[in-house]
Structure 1
């Protein structure tokens, strides 16, 4: 819990001009930072296992409409070994986009029992000079079509872009036996 309060303070400070690492200091990010003290993100440990090899990830949980819609927006970094677990409570097919997301992310989609149903490397979709917010949103939405899952999924795990490669896993060739295990109660 202390970690989340610390992150919230960092977010508010960074978005109000403090410039601390971790969050982007832009007007678009201010409303997200302002909500963090009232809606702190919970964290859970997840495991990616293939064969006898386990990779542990400390993941923030996005299990509500607001937290899922914000995801990892406005972050200037996502440290190695961390990420965000999106929990949908049932099968869904909606996509993910990189609007207002400033760091590359890898995403793996899982069904309700932890079997991989898709993966993608997602790149930031920055606001171009002189671009209207509407055009920015439309462009990011168009780019997001490449990030869709291959089928329905119940969970998605976002990780720092390229970090899985350092763990011996490639998004282009994830092992068939790769499974996601969540430790603890996601919906607590």
Structure 2
């Protein structure tokens, strides 16, 4: 399954690259990215619209006409044109993936990077600012924090930067101590001594 997802994202990135390259020529990258974000938010809020936009059961011609009627003059022409190209090729199901690729490309262009921050409780404003500053220094970019509350962490913080995980949670410390105590007890048993004698 990960391979199929990688293939879809690679295909979506081709559309994202073409959209942003054309938008760059018109000095409209930020506007197109912002309007694309609004479209995806609307899709998230309206399941019927999403079904209409992405369902294979909807004929391309009526959908093309509806897209024109709904968005021409209300959405940047470049974004609408990409939607029409996706529709013509039967790939409107990739809208969210194309948006995600646009989002990642814009973040890279603005020297930003998403960082997942997991905590047992919501971050305070002061702690959020401190984490953002320290992580930003570490990655050499502006950190865009994606905050997730995970009560099982007990306390502390777990930070995910791409494939790197920095675990400073209380739960990790407890597991680590438990493993060290188990190893020590096993070592003492193998030496023929009771753990209590030490």
TM-score range, shorter chain: under 0.3
**TM-score of the superposed pair, with normalisation by structure 2:** 0.24
The structure with the larger Rg is 2
Q: Which has the higher contact order (CA 8 A, sep 6+)?
A: 1
Which has the larger share of helix? 2
Which has the larger share of strand? 1
